[in-house]
Amino acid sequence: MTALATELTHGRTLVNAELFDRLTDFCAEEYGLERSVAERVMDQGLAFLDVMGSTGETLSPSKLIDPAWHTFMLHSPQYTAWCQERYGRYIHHAPNSRYRDKAAMVDVVGKIRAAGYAVDESLWGTKADCNEPSCCGDGPCC
């Protein structure tokens, strides 16, 4: 019996390439990230937003993913239109930093993965070798 490989979706496909590049450039500049890291952050951030928008659940991003949400929101015409077109409503952002423990991030990552998205564990603090509490979503160590 042969197992079929499932093609995972990437968050970057949720916006056009020009907007993704603009968001990535802004995220890199605003948050002092290397562009390659900012690309990963934006990709995961868009997947996260799609899961929230599609399910209506209120979820918290990791500290490393939160800049993606801020970046998109600061491009307010595009963010507002994207939310309205995809979900029929605006996805509001309220600070929820106390909900960023490892268990919460594992839950969020599970929902993103269940929606068919590729997950970059190192940005969520959920890697098996993560050194809690010194890392786990709070820095680039995992």
Would you give per-residue pLDDT tens digits along the chain (142 residues)?
555 557 899 999 999 999 999 999 999 999 999 999 999 999 999 999 999 999 999 899 999 999 999 999 999 999 999 999 999 999 999 876 666 778 888 899 999 999 999 999 999 987 765 454 444 444 444 4
Farthest-apart Cα atoms in the chain, separation: 50
Distance CA 18, CA 6 (A): 27
- Say how far residue 55 (Cα) sits from the centre of its chain: 15
pLDDT at 101: 76
**β-strand partners of 9:** 117
Specify the DSSP element, H or E, that contains 62.
Answer: none
Neighbours of 128 (CB within 10 A): 6
